[in-house]
């Protein structure tokens, strides 16, 4: 009965996405004009390939954005070691992921932008690339993709599988449960990133025998390769910061900068020589922060302009991608954003911890709560959340 309801719901979804396709096309073109989509390769989002498909077996790895893409790379490398005869195709949805990931992928891996989950785009994509298996990362549960692959006899796996509490609540509703149950029934393998996530997938009627645990793949993310000039610039910053107190806030979202700049002003009264490094989630946000601070008369150094930390400069804004791990080596304290406002779901804290930083976050950490708890069990002071922060000393 649930299977029949699921098929009916999918037919409704497919009809709706078919009907909305012209509007989604216009939205895609608008995003391209805004600079959000790639200016040349945007047709790939409609399932139009930009490179030939090699003969033989092909495995498709699909990720949403940069974090998931980097977590997939160690798995891709392992696949190449085990099956060098297979071609690997990787897709993501964001231009920022494209800029970084394409330089990190092993030789021979094909990169394309992911097709929209509309019938024409997804059918064209699957028909052209004909993957033998699809590896979806984290929470990329798209009906036309999953059921289209299953209809073509393509094996499906969901790696580092997760589902936010909000998404779980939505999918659990009686009207949507048959659809998600149908989708999850098509997977041959689901690898949750935690026990709690595994329970959620079972409650959504994923077959228990396809659920296997291996841990969070984001612990395996490798260091980004950056240019020699980038390495040299980091070393220069170390020299400039050698005799100054410094703390860093990373991956902040809009609205969080107001909280962090308030903290900055308080700390400046205690430590006039202090430097705050701000690394927004999106580079454009960093440039906007710098402009606003300059209007207030503050001296700000902007990373993309290669500006130096001179006397009187107390804020350094990093509006570039792919350098976060290197910046963690410059500071003893890292505040991880995306966690201080309702509706946010946190970011990876393991990179800051691996660099030896004292890690602080807000309470809105979403699926990263499992990572926070594991680190706190190992050392209660390894990760502190707001409300439990002691007066951390900048005297080092």
Active site residues: 68
CA atoms lying within 13 Å on the CB side of residue 8: 9
Residue (of 178, 133, 122) closest to 3 by Cα position? 178
Give CA 123 to chain center in angstroms.
26
Residue 117 to residues 13, 110, 299, 347, 392, Cα–Cα distance (Å): 10, 20, 45, 26, 47
How far is the C-alpha of 234 from the C-alpha of 274, rounded, in Å? Answer: 18
Q: Do 299 and 314 meet the contact criterion of CB atoms below 8 Å apart? A: yes
Q: What is the DSSP string of 289-349?
A: HHHHHHHTT--EEEGGGT----TT--EEE---SS-HHHHHTT-SEEEE-S-SSTT------
Which residues are bridge partners to 211 per DSSP?
A: 190
Q: What are phi and psi of 382, to 5 degrees?
A: -70, -35
């Amino acid at each position: 009965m649930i299977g029949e309801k699921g098929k009916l719901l999918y037919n409704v979804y497919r009809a709706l996405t078919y009907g909305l396709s012209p509007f989604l096309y216009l939205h895609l073109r608008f995003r391209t004009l805004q600079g959000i989509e790639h200016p040349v390769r945007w047709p790939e989002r409609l399932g139009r390939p930009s490179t030939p498909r090699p003969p033989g077996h092909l495995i498709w790895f699909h990720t949403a954005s940069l974090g998931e893409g980097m977590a997939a790379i160690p798995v891709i490398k392992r696949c190449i070691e085990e099956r060098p005869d297979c071609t690997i195709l990787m897709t993501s949805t964001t231009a920022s992921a494209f800029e970084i990931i394409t330089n990190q992928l092993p030789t021979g891996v094909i990169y394309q932008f992911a097709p929209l989950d509309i019938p024409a785009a997804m059918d064209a994509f699957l028909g052209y690339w004909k993957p033998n298996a699809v590896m979806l990362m984290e929470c990329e549960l798209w009906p036309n993709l999953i059921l289209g692959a299953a209809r073509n006899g393509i094996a499906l796996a969901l790696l580092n599988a997760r589902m936010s509490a909000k998404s779980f609540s939505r999918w659990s509703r009686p009207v949507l449960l048959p659809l998600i149950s149908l989708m999850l029934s098509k997977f041959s393998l689901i690898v949750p990133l935690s026990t709690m996530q595994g329970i959620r997938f079972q409650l959504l009627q994923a077959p228990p025998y396809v659920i296997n645990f291996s841990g969070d793949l984001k612990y395996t993310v490798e260091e980004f390769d950056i240019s020699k000039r980038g390495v040299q610039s980091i070393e220069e910053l170390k020299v400039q910061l050698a005799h100054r107190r410094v703390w860093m806030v990373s991956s902040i979202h809009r609205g969080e900068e107001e909280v962090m700049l308030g903290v900055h002003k308080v700390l400046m009264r205690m430590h006039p020589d202090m430097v705050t490094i701000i690394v927004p989630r999106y580079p454009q946000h960093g440039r906007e922060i710098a402009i606003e601070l300059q209007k207030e008369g503050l001296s700000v150094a902007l990373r993309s302009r290669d500006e130096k930390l001179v006397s009187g400069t107390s804020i350094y804004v990093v509006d570039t991608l792919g350098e976060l791990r290197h910046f963690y080596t410059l500071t003893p304290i890292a505040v991880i954003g995306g966690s201080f406002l309702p509706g946010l779901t946190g970011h990876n804290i393991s990179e800051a911890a691996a660099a030896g930083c004292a890690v602080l976050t807000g309470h809105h950490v979403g699926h990263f709560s499992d990572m926070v708890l594991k680190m706190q069990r190992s050392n209660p002071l390894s990760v502190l959340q707001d409300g439990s922060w002691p007066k951390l000393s900048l005297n080092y």
